[in-house]
């Protein structure tokens, strides 16, 4: 059965953080040691990020308002709201992004309408509320009240792939199913000033954004590039459980992102790929560089550097991941969807181009999948099932 991602759309908050300006704000905070100041400048400058989007409008250097909660633009001080205050803002600001991304994805899915949606899967690890985003999407888009709803919460940066895998399973169980997957993360709600290296690293990387996709096995003509969801795999590395984590503190969620993570990925990425590529003997016999597209979650520049070096990929193959990082930062689970969209928008050079995509998260968990980029000029029965990594 062919299960196809027929549309993929993104959404970001309007407030933009310029990396150099954000660096200077964080480096100027009272309480930083000299080492902390050096770490701030080093992490921000080495992140390979030009700009990020945030749902916290106060973080704009041009914002001025009474009773600031996150950042006082007059004094230049970063404030320290409670977890409840941060989560309240998540509930207020995440909903519009969920709805925007979902609406755009449904509108872009030719041959389908909101009335066709049978399942909604939402994803987020940066806040909680109930009735949750799955409910809000159903109500806002006017979906049928019997639509099946699922929410994947607090899984971290790899969570888009379990959501896509679930969508594929729903479609295989019911060939008439149409699944709407929506991921929204507001990571910037949880940044804070600190001398802790993990906290500084998170502040230099994390950002806000959302993405949505419509997936179905229905036989419909292709009017735009799409993605065939071929295979998925999950691998837990034998080490790294304490090197990447996401904890809840009194003043926000606390990211643990150890500098050892790139080394773990370097040592175990080949082993993590083996069970996935075994499902495609044609690809397993080729050098990694022969797989046309790579949709790698840009958890940070050093992670991308390690993956590129270990798998001997070209600079061109890393463009979608590096450009996403440069323009948007690390938006946790939504980020790899931005990378896939970048690949979809590239002109096709041949029918059935292979995609290899992957994402990393707490555990250390490596999610992978084999996909095929479909061209609307090629009829589905003649498209070779190639490969992808998610």
**What spatial distance separates the first Cα and last Cα of the chain, rounded to whole Å?**
19
Is 356 one of the catalytic residues? Answer: no
Query: What is d(CA 251, CA 130) in angstroms, rounded to the nearest whole number?
Result: 21
Which of 157, 171, 187, 356 is catalytic? The answer is 157
Which candidate, 7, 214, 183, 225, places its Cα nearest to that of 116? 214
The C-alpha atoms of residue 145 and residue 118 are separated, in whole angstroms, by: 10
| Closest residue by Cα to residue 340 from 372, 308, 362, 367 | 372
**What residues does 368 pair with on adjacent strands?**
233, 358
Q: Give dist(CA 93, CA 187) in Å, integer.
A: 12
6 burial type by CB count under 10 A (0-12 exposed, 13-18 middle, 19+ buried)? buried
- Give the other-Cβ count within 10 Å of 382's Cβ: 8
383's CB contacts (< 8 A; 6+ apart) are 228, 351, 352, 372, 374
Catalytic residues: 157
């Amino acid at each position: 059965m062919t299960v196809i991602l027929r549309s993929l759309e993104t959404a970001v908050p309007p407030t933009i953080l310029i990396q150099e300006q954000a660096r200077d704000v964080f480096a100027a905070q009272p309480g930083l040691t000299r080492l902390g100041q050096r770490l701030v400048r080093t992490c921000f400058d080495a992140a390979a990020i030009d700009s990020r989007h945030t749902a916290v409008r106060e973080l704009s250097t041009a914002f001025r308002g009474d009773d600031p909660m996150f950042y006082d633009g007059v004094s230049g001080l970063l404030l320290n709201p409670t977890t409840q205050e941060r989560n309240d803002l998540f509930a207020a600001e995440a909903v519009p992004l969920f709805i925007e991304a979902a609406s755009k994805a449904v509108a872009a899915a030719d041959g389908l309408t909101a009335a066709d949606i049978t399942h909604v899967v939402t994803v987020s690890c940066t806040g909680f509320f109930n009735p949750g985003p799955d409910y809000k999407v159903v109500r806002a888009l006017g979906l049928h009240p019997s639509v099946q709803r699922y929410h994947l919460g607090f899984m971290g940066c790899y969570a888009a792939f379990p959501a896509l895998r679930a969508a594929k399973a729903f479609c295989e169980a019911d060939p008439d199913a149409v699944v709407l997957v929506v991921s929204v993360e507001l990571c910037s709600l949880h940044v804070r000033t600190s001398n802790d290296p993990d906290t500084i690293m998170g502040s230099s990387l994390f950002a806000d954004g959302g993405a949505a996709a419509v997936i179905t096995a229905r036989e419909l003509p292709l009017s735009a590039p799409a993605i065939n969801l071929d295979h998925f795999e999950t691998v837990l590395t034998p080490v790294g459980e304490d090197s990447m984590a996401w904890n809840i503190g009194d003043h926000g969620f606390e990211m643990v992102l150890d500098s050892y993570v790139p080394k773990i990925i370097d040592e175990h990425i080949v082993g993590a790929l083996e069970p996935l590529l075994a499902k495609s003997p044609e690809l397993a016999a080729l050098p990694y560089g022969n797989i046309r597209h790579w949709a790698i979650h840009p958890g940070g520049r050093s992670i991308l550097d390690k993956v590129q070096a270990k798998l001997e990929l070209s600079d061109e193959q890393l463009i979608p991941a590096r450009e996403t990082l440069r323009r948007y930062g690390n938006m946790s689970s939504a980020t790899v969807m931005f990378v896939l969209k970048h690949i979809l928008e590239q002109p096709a050079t041949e029918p059935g181009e292979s995609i290899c995509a992957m994402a990393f998260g707490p555990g250390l968990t490596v999610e992978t999948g084999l996909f095929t980029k479909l061209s609307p000029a090629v009829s589905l029965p003649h498209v070779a099932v190639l490969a992808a990594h998610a």
